[in-house]
Structure 1
Amino acid sequence: MSPRREKLTSPQTRIALARGNRPAHHLLPVPEPVDTEAARRLFQSQRRTAVRTVVLLAVLLFGLSGSFALFPALGEIRLAEVPVSWLLLTVGIYPVLFGLALWHVRAAERLEDEAEDRAPHRGGDRDDGRGGTTDEPHGPP
């Protein structure tokens, strides 16, 4: 008879299995009413930016495709025996899409920075340079 097999798990796995499907509520920050309103305003402004980005994307893609449909002569122009319309739709569009994505990300980050600047800072909390905050004054006593 072979020896009995033993199941080995890490301590973290045992903790997770013991907790079951319950979420770890102690890990979730509880927003204050002021924080909730600020987050709602930030979300709305970022949503407006996202709608602008999607509209620009639609105008760009459908406008480019539509211009080739409205002006078939554009499809007859060739570069190295490949129609320029194909090159624009398959290769040339990607730098423009990258630029649009970069613009969107920077706009969303700018909105976050502005919201953070408007947010009232709590007490004497300051960044301690290690990812936390401290009430203690910086520098030598």
Structure 2
Amino acid sequence: MNPGATPGESPARVRVTAPRDAPPVPGPTLQPGTPEDFYLRSLIRSQLRLSLSVAAGFTVLLLVIAVLIAFWPQIHEIRVGTVPIAWLLLGAGIYPIILAAAALYNRACTRNERRYRDLASRP
């Protein structure tokens, strides 16, 4: 509590900032050509490749569902209760696909990081 604040009064807000003329703090630097640099770059490449492949697979599945609904007119006749199945596919059927893609991505990402840690920890 502020020394001059009265009871029930909210404390004064203080903004903490770095000086404007302070140089940025450099992160850890890796020398090009070191094993750590090679392993880190390969981890980044594998994570990028994984994320692009999951995004591409998800996009393909969405396009297949959209094309199926657009070019199969009988699907509009099929109903679950009073709701057309096309609406259910687009409205609720996408979420299990999203969850499956996220679970697969998380599992593969963890596997990539574990391999990186194993390689990086070797003497």
1:113 maps to which residue?
A: 114
> For each residue in 1:46-90, what CA deviation from the matched residue of structure 2 results, as whole angstroms up to 9, or x when unmatched?
122122111211111000010111211112101121101101101
2:103 maps to which residue?
A: 102
Report deviation, 1:19: 5.4
**Number of residue pairs aligned between Structure 1 and Structure 2:** 110
Query: Normalized against structure 2, the TM-score is what?
Result: 0.76
Q: 5+ residue gaps in structure 1?
A: 1-6, 123-141
Query: Normalized against structure 1, the TM-score is what?
Result: 0.68
Report deviation, 1:18: 2.8
RMSD over equivalenced CA pairs, Å:
2.3
Other structure's SS at 1:119 match = helix
Change (3 A) 1:92 1:8: closer
Matched residue type, 1:116: R
Change (3 A) 1:30 1:121: farther
Q: 5+ residue gaps in structure 2?
A: 1-11
1:128 maps to which residue?
A: none
User: Partners of 2:104 and 2:38 in 1: how far apart?
Assistant: 26
- Structure with bigger RCO (C-alpha 8 Å, 6+ apart): 2
